């Protein structure tokens, strides 16, 4: 049966850059409850984040910026592209380097910087956010606390200028990026820095790697 309906326009594809710290320096605020499992927790959180991003049909590439060979190997096995932390001058220059590699691989795709600390990330929620981001030259998603940023994006051909760090929500707004305020995107906003954050993502529904490590932690302890 024929139809006169016009085909829907293809959705913009994205290359997402995920920065992963050297595990020895990661999740230091979790030391009280994680103890000897702190590095395992950091790797598990990053693994669940990258795995979910790769399952999102709006995502063409996930580019992991890291100098640690362990997460590099684990995340490459999932299908991520691994690049070194260059120019080794802090988070935002590392993200810019990763985004440049993404644009070399896919010039027609948007680029985004995604936190590595989103272990409850759901591909469908990420897709909704990326579709909304496609309508603005620059956009960002604030974290659950309303202070930081979990995702920053730039459309194809638009300069990529992330402003991560203390108070990044305000910094991205000041830089002209559109703040994306959508319902039901909790998994894109809930990052893990503290024990309370971890409890929240477990309640939301953490990925299998994070849930497995969390089962070994003293989450009932005060921190």
Annotated binding site for phosphoenolpyruvate: 149, 165, 168
Q: Strand ranges (DSSP E) for 79-222? A: 81-83, 110-114, 138-142, 149-154, 178-179
Name residue, tokens 């959180």.
Answer: 45
Q: Is 157 left (phi over 0), alpha (psi -120 to 50) or beta?
A: left
Q: Residue ranges for the binding site?
A: 149, 165, 168
Q: Is 90 left (phi over 0), alpha (psi -120 to 50) or beta?
A: left
Which three-class secondary structure state does DSSP give residue 196?
A: helix
* Rounded CA separation 36/31 (Å): 8
In 3D space, the residue among 58, 65, 79 whose CA is nearest the CA of residue 15 turns out to be 58
What single-letter DSSP state applies at residue 74? H
Q: What are phi and psi of 14, to 5 degrees?
A: -135, 145
The token pair that represents 19 in the structure block: 């920065």
In 3D space, the residue among 48, 214, 71, 17 whose CA is nearest the CA of residue 119 turns out to be 48
């Amino acid at each position: 049966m024929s139809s006169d309906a016009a085909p829907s326009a293809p959705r913009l594809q994205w290359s997402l850059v995920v920065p992963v710290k050297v595990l020895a320096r990661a999740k230091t605020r979790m030391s009280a409850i994680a103890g000897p499992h702190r590095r395992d927790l950091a790797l598990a959180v990053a693994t669940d984040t990258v795995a979910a991003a790769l399952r999102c049909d709006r995502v063409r590439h996930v580019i992991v910026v890291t100098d640690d060979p362990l997460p590099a190997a684990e995340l490459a096995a999932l299908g991520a592209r691994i690049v070194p932390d260059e120019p080794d001058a802090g988070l935002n220059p590392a993200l810019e380097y990763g985004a440049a590699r993404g644009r070399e691989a896919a010039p027609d795709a948007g680029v985004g910087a995604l936190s590595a600390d989103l272990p409850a990330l759901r591909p469908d929620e990420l897709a909704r956010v990326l579709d909304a981001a496609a309508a603005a030259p620059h956009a960002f998603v604030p974290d659950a606390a309303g202070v930081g940023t979990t995702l920053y994006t730039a459309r194809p051909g638009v300069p990529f200028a992330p402003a991560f760090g203390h108070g990044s929500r305000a910094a991205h707004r000041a830089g002209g990026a559109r703040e994306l305020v959508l319902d039901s995107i909790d998994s894109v906003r809930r990052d893990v820095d503290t024990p309370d954050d971890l409890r929240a993502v477990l309640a939301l529904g953490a990925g299998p790697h994070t849930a497995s490590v969390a089962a070994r932690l003293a989450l009932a302890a005060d921190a």
